[in-house]
Structure 1
């Protein structure tokens, strides 16, 4: 019997990108990988510097990108390079639109996709944003009335003379008896005369403008930032694009919005009216509580209401409004919610493709992985932060989860594939399945090395010495994403994210929920601790918001937050300080309809400043009605309510079992298609894992798939109760995909395990190194070595400065046993190696573990070996700076290092380049 599965993903504009999970069998042999689509391939942000683009260079670059395996590009116009101003195209001008149309046409010819930032630089803004629609802020000035004081001048206090003038909209008097009332009518010529004797304090409320302009704007895109909270402002902004394009938009896939970096914008012209309508009281009479940082109950409640209102206005007036506009044009939206003053889950969930971001470099205890503290930022990306985007996608029925990947992974020109892979795998483990490189800079052919480069990106351009070795890295991503985009996520638990606890922060007014401050709003919470503990125990979780709980339904005892979402087995409520009555009512409704709900503790209180006692009483009565104040478990309708300080025993009692993969130290994420499951598994540890690993499935067989080289084989497995026990061998840094099936296809060979070598033989040879003509700055002389050595630090200055390709050639003798399998093992590669044995291409080695299966290529007797190695750009950049050769000359930010200081590579040490250590051949029984 041969089981077959279809994994072809449609590349249309439908809302459902994946396959129907209810269909159990399709007609593509199970021995094949999914048919490749452009969405499976990595995409990249494409910096258009100065929009200095032309047809000839565009055609050349697109061909290059397609050649190395880039599936699509997100066009982002930004500032330009000095000296090329005559090539600049003004944003949205007719020549710019013509260039865009040509680009889209050529991309489609190459089966590449195009997304477009709806503006230049970031955030949204530009010359079409008039002052009245620019980002706004609230200014509150307090005046204490001294005893006997008769007059008071009301004048806006500015930090400096460049601050915009605010408009005084309200003047609130606070009186001795506690009364607060509007006294604006007493104001004449900005003065209060005849101050009432019982007036203690005056608060002046201004609406002003932040004055922020577009950051890194392209020519023609300079101007004020948009007021994202105003529907009128947003509509005027997006309608300016309708006018510029005359409603004739090119066939791009999606419009894109970057992370919310609108600084100080915390108000809008109609904010007070919106607040009163939504929260039930007038904010201007609670200004003392809003600006207080003393943490008392009244202050926290007003701040929470204020932040909730900002969140709603952002979602409704900007995110949803913008997405509906794009949909009317036949386009999708791709959006980064992080950094917003709003509920991240709901903002991510309001667009077609939620996008997260990796910023900085994580520590992985993988032996041999280079991590120089001088070349990394002092940040540590948290995969749980990435799960806000993937959770929102999973729970709102969207399949694609994108990620702006490798932002400031390391210092410029020093990031290798081996450093990129574990960071990349961590994003996959968090639910990302649509990687965007950050990024590729449009660099014309006539611009000398290193071409145009962006100040904060990985600088993956055709000038990068890694470029011709990039296809293998991209193929790894493509294979992995082809699986991670198939079917549905298979996460069994929902964890409630208590946004109202975040909004209860006693400090400040607006609460920006950013990537860079997770130590404040995320890490200390019970939500974070419990989610991390659950995942480490083997459970797969998604995070759910109040709104998502309110719209969820129950189907056969499982919770479905959306008709296209995965069914989940339970909803977990960690310890929370604040939960709205409406959310609690929705939770009880889910239980009534058959869901399992597990509370870690009774929520402490309800949020908000309106009708507090009434809402507290409602909540208290509902809780008493459940009986959880007396029992740890009660039946509720068709479902069940459980109170348990620890989630694990409660889940076990309900027979909601974890995967046991984590017990081996491996990390995983899983997808499902019908009865089959796909597990993406990574070893991020310092030691190898070679053992039986238990998978929670009724399947009877396991197919192991290697996304590095595409090999597939049937693994050793046996059923073990509720689990399928599969033997895995994974070296540190290695990743595999395990597909569990009822019966493996007869077409699939047995998996070859390279776990216990019978012998290990060192390749002893004389090596000749020759250098490629496409490297530089100069082509070094050939080198000869008696042992395997780098080409750097050999006393040859030209070799030390060289970045590009070098080829190692030699011969060696070997006693071959045809009944054995063989691997070629490198001690160290700086940074990627393509291997030929006996004239046949054997493969590429670019990441730990540095191992290549050479069984098919090795022969008895003398063997010829050729190894093409590429190094990093760093040594050549060092040469430029040491010799004062100008290469960085840009408008605005010019070029900075990882610490945002002026870039200078002249004091860098030479980066090791080539091969070093030992070259070994390991022998295994087949």
Structure 2
């Protein structure tokens, strides 16, 4: 639908009062609030401590916790509780009961540390690998060497066995000799001519154990490709949980980080069943580094088999088991050697992960190079693998492990967290889990127990007094993103066979930590980037999903509860499955629109590939393409198929409209609800957006909603465009509805502002809370950070809250006043005339305060909370012990020994001017 109205928006527009009117915000459940990964160090928890921390989290605006037991703190060994022991289950029951009383939810990991594994994983169920040994043999030579495993680490294992023995001559002719090897390793075969190389494949074990395991959780990692291993593993939880789920909402499995697991005991049989031929004859091409077409085809089949095994034998079994407990499951598919889209789609709550820090152009946003990991940056398109799978299959929640290693320890401000959260939301994710919070006993001094790779969302953090500002923002935004369905219009096929056909390597894990190798160099990624910036909304789709898709109600739909899509794009690729092409032609026959960026060149895999290639070409030639300007198009049944290297031109040809608002640099995500649509819009540019922008949908009434403070109002409207004035770093939600609601007040627009009143009179600085000690009070001639006062050494080491206070006379009248901070280190609570006027924690650092001001004398207090960094610096300089953990003690962002003693003092408090800006609304 073309937009009918102009919406005037302004970052300086506020809808005051009238909060008793009909509220357009969706009702927020605890899933709309942020949740946090909750590490139980050594599981050294008790009821008093659990009660205290859950209550503290609830008051701060958290909706739930995700329990992950890990290694413990030294000196507390007598407090450790073994994982899943009766005592541990008692603590879990207390936790879920307390959480329920606070209206919070509880998830828990199915294991300790990561990846999944533990003491119940015996040798048979442990992660498995192939061990390859080669031998040379001359013609007519009696082979005297025995084919036995040489690996000393494996020799004592009982499950090791010889799986495949195949010999190749110089012409690459193969003879499978597996049944010619006696139990003692003697080979009963000798060639009659030529030189031969024997490849012997043994079923071995990776011997990897759970990293960062908690007491009672240590053991081998799991063989994800074995259904028996998965079922055996989960029996331990059946025993501990009995017929109850103990109040667990969702059972969680962390990212796949099983190294070297490239085989399973019955892989050879599974491969033949699924791929149609015996791998034994071609084992050389799998295990060698030969870069040939044949090697690529064998490896493609191998990788596809791995993908199917982890999907069916682990992921689906995990989901079914969680359902048997009347719970849900959450799974991080990334890192797996499988089709991520299918793996994410096979669970209740797909979960992605962000690691590192993004470079945003937001004016004033801090990003010190010495405090970040420059090698890894979160990528919105990597996050879309999880949201795409959920959107297509109709999963209401998509979660994210958020802010892992956002900056160096103790140096992350809430203003740095906000744009990272916004990027996560813009990817389609709607259920954030902070990474994270560590349980700390009440008698442990500052900084409490800490996890080594965390942004510190802990009550001991000196920034904690203002975390409610961030949490409320997340809650309001997620309440919208969870209440609507995805309104993405485009499906983009992921050409995974082009990845799988790579003749290099063996197993292929799609990790978030190496997307520069497997994702960034592809045309697929180039399309995702280009279309996203152009204003198109899309999800990624797999072969399996295409096979399940139908064309109904003028749209492509995979699941009854999933998204509806106007077009399917097949990006430029080399390898394409003929069943997938057949499924696409069926969709087109029924009315679907399809864009091919290029003609598929070949089929993947080895089995009867020439016959399948002919079938692919035969299917392709059935499309009656005609030249149509710069592209080719064909009417196919009731549908349309377009062939064009320029995907955007093809979308224009099919009249798929982009949202032109992205031409300004604004980012958006669109959701649909019964009777309208939401737009979540973010300004991550360095400039203020002050211009008319179009919306593709406007409905009959438009409400503006500010997710930072909850204010709302009905917008003024005219034809064809929306006027937006958003400052750098701000966001807005537009609710376009078909049903007008006359009870909602009008949004108040700023028409002009007067010259600012600068609060440059003397200020009193006192210190409210924090440590190691409170600095002395001071009278300031001008505003400045408390760290400027080097003569008072306590100001250099203090982390906590300092209070700047003054009074001023106000004689000027205005519709409202904006309190604007020049520099704020790092967040603040504003109190005017004894009334709480709100928190300032994100860029731009300003807040509307008109309703708290009066004519004549006014008092103002600004309670500023700084980073933990200066106090940690002091502790390290004075060699005060605060990190004392088993296994990994504490590391910095580069995984080297942490030492803050040489850090610069981080500026703390207020700097520059504070202005009071008079605001006048249009009538």
Q: Do they fold alike, i.e. is TM over 0.5? A: yes
- 2:166 equivalent among 168, 172, 178: 172
Is the CA contact 2:438–2:451 (under 8 Å) kept in the aligned structure 1?
Answer: yes
1:162–1:271 Cα change, 3 Å: closer
Deviations 1:685-719 (A, max 9, x none): 11110111211015243211111100112233322
Find out whether 1:746 has 2:731 as its counterpart. Answer: no
Show the counterpart of 2:15.
none
Find out whether 1:535 has 2:544 as its counterpart. Answer: no
Local SS of the residue matching 1:805 = strand
Shift of residue 149 of structure 1?
A: 4.4
Show the counterpart of 1:920.
915
Shift of residue 553 of structure 1?
A: 0.9
Is the CA contact 1:557–1:596 (under 8 Å) kept in the aligned structure 2?
Answer: no
Local SS of the residue matching 1:812 = strand
Show the counterpart of 1:398.
395
Find out whether 1:515 has 2:512 as its counterpart. Answer: yes
TM-score, normalised via structure 1 length: 0.94
Find out whether 1:341 has 2:333 as its counterpart. Answer: no
Is the CA contact 1:763–1:921 (under 8 Å) kept in the aligned structure 2?
Answer: yes
Show the counterpart of 2:221.
225
- 1:384 equivalent among 381, 386, 406: 381
Trace 1:336-375 onto structure 2 (pairs within 5 A). Answer: 336-375=332-371
Shift of residue 142 of structure 1?
A: 1.9
Show the counterpart of 1:201.
197
Find out whether 1:801 has 2:797 as its counterpart. Answer: yes
Deviations 1:842-873 (A, max 9, x none): 11110101110112122223221110110011
1:873–1:694 Cα change, 3 Å: same
In 2: Cα distance, 1:381 partner to 1:232 partner: 36
Deviations 1:650-702 (A, max 9, x none): 22222211111101110000101123111111100111101112110152432
Trace 1:327-726 onto structure 2 (pairs within 5 A). Answer: 327-378=323-374, 379-628=376-625, 632-720=632-720, 725-726=721-722
Show the counterpart of 2:6.
none
Show the counterpart of 1:778.
773
Shift of residue 744 of structure 1?
A: 4.6
649-658 or 529-538, which deviates more: 649-658
Shift of residue 177 of structure 1?
A: 6.1
In 1: Cα distance, 2:320 partner to 2:549 partner: 22
Local SS of the residue matching 1:597 = strand
Show the counterpart of 1:830.
825
Trace 1:880-919 onto structure 2 (pairs within 5 A). Answer: 880-919=875-914
Local SS of the residue matching 2:813 = coil
In 1: Cα distance, 2:248 partner to 2:549 partner: 33
Shift of residue 467 of structure 1?
A: 1.4
Shift of residue 293 of structure 1?
A: 2.8
In 2: Cα distance, 1:159 partner to 1:464 partner: 49
Is the CA contact 1:174–1:180 (under 8 Å) kept in the aligned structure 2?
Answer: yes
Deviations 1:566-623 (A, max 9, x none): 2111111110111111110111111111110111111111101000111011110110
Show the counterpart of 2:317.
321
In 2: Cα distance, 1:426 partner to 1:287 partner: 44
Local SS of the residue matching 1:804 = strand
Is the CA contact 1:527–1:574 (under 8 Å) kept in the aligned structure 2?
Answer: yes
Is the CA contact 1:68–1:471 (under 8 Å) kept in the aligned structure 2?
Answer: yes
Is the CA contact 1:433–1:481 (under 8 Å) kept in the aligned structure 2?
Answer: yes
Deviations 1:492-519 (A, max 9, x none): 1110111111112221100000001111
Local SS of the residue matching 2:875 = helix
1:380–1:194 Cα change, 3 Å: closer
1:698–1:739 Cα change, 3 Å: closer
Show the counterpart of 2:97.
105
Deviations 1:372-393 (A, max 9, x none): 1111012111000000000000
1:176–1:817 Cα change, 3 Å: closer
Find out whether 1:787 has 2:782 as its counterpart. Answer: yes
Is the CA contact 2:332–2:344 (under 8 Å) kept in the aligned structure 1?
Answer: yes
Trace 1:3-18 onto structure 2 (pairs within 5 A). Answer: none
Deviations 1:468-494 (A, max 9, x none): 211111111000000000120110111
- 1:879 equivalent among 855, 874, 891: 874
1:159–1:852 Cα change, 3 Å: farther
In 2: Cα distance, 1:916 partner to 1:152 partner: 82
Is the CA contact 2:30–2:64 (under 8 Å) kept in the aligned structure 1?
Answer: yes
Local SS of the residue matching 2:819 = strand
In 1: Cα distance, 2:680 partner to 2:868 partner: 32
Show the counterpart of 2:234.
238
Is the CA contact 1:154–1:204 (under 8 Å) kept in the aligned structure 2?
Answer: no
1:152–1:500 Cα change, 3 Å: farther
Is the CA contact 1:714–1:744 (under 8 Å) kept in the aligned structure 2?
Answer: no
1:185–1:159 Cα change, 3 Å: closer
Trace 1:275-294 onto structure 2 (pairs within 5 A). Answer: 275-294=271-290
Find out whether 1:849 has 2:841 as its counterpart. Answer: no
Trace 1:726-741 onto structure 2 (pairs within 5 A). Answer: 726-741=722-737
Local SS of the residue matching 1:696 = coil
Q: Which runs of 5+ in 1 are unaligned?
A: 1-27
Show the counterpart of 1:116.
108
466-475 or 416-425, which deviates more: 466-475
Deviations 1:509-564 (A, max 9, x none): 00000001111111111111111111111110000111111101111221111100
Shift of residue 247 of structure 1?
A: 3.0
1:278–1:448 Cα change, 3 Å: same
Local SS of the residue matching 2:479 = helix
Is the CA contact 1:164–1:208 (under 8 Å) kept in the aligned structure 2?
Answer: no
In 2: Cα distance, 1:162 partner to 1:468 partner: 54
Show the counterpart of 2:3.
none
Find out whether 1:266 has 2:266 as its counterpart. Answer: no
Deviations 1:629-660 (A, max 9, x none): 87711111111111111122222222211111
Show the counterpart of 1:17.
none
Local SS of the residue matching 2:202 = strand
Local SS of the residue matching 1:684 = coil
In 2: Cα distance, 1:32 partner to 1:518 partner: 40
Local SS of the residue matching 1:409 = coil
Trace 1:858-877 onto structure 2 (pairs within 5 A). Answer: 858-877=853-872
TM-score, normalised via structure 2 length: 0.95
In 2: Cα distance, 1:904 partner to 1:756 partner: 51
Shift of residue 186 of structure 1?
A: 4.0
In 2: Cα distance, 1:437 partner to 1:508 partner: 35
1:150–1:683 Cα change, 3 Å: same
Show the counterpart of 2:145.
153
Deviations 1:753-812 (A, max 9, x none): 45853322222221111111x310011101221111101131221011011111110012
Aligned residues: 893
Supply the RMSD in Å over aligned alpha carbons: 1.7
Is the CA contact 2:676–2:735 (under 8 Å) kept in the aligned structure 1?
Answer: yes
Show the counterpart of 2:16.
none
In 1: Cα distance, 2:751 partner to 2:305 partner: 58
In 2: Cα distance, 1:667 partner to 1:381 partner: 16
1:755–1:386 Cα change, 3 Å: farther
Shift of residue 162 of structure 1?
A: 7.1
Local SS of the residue matching 1:626 = coil
Is the CA contact 2:675–2:739 (under 8 Å) kept in the aligned structure 1?
Answer: no
Show the counterpart of 1:85.
77
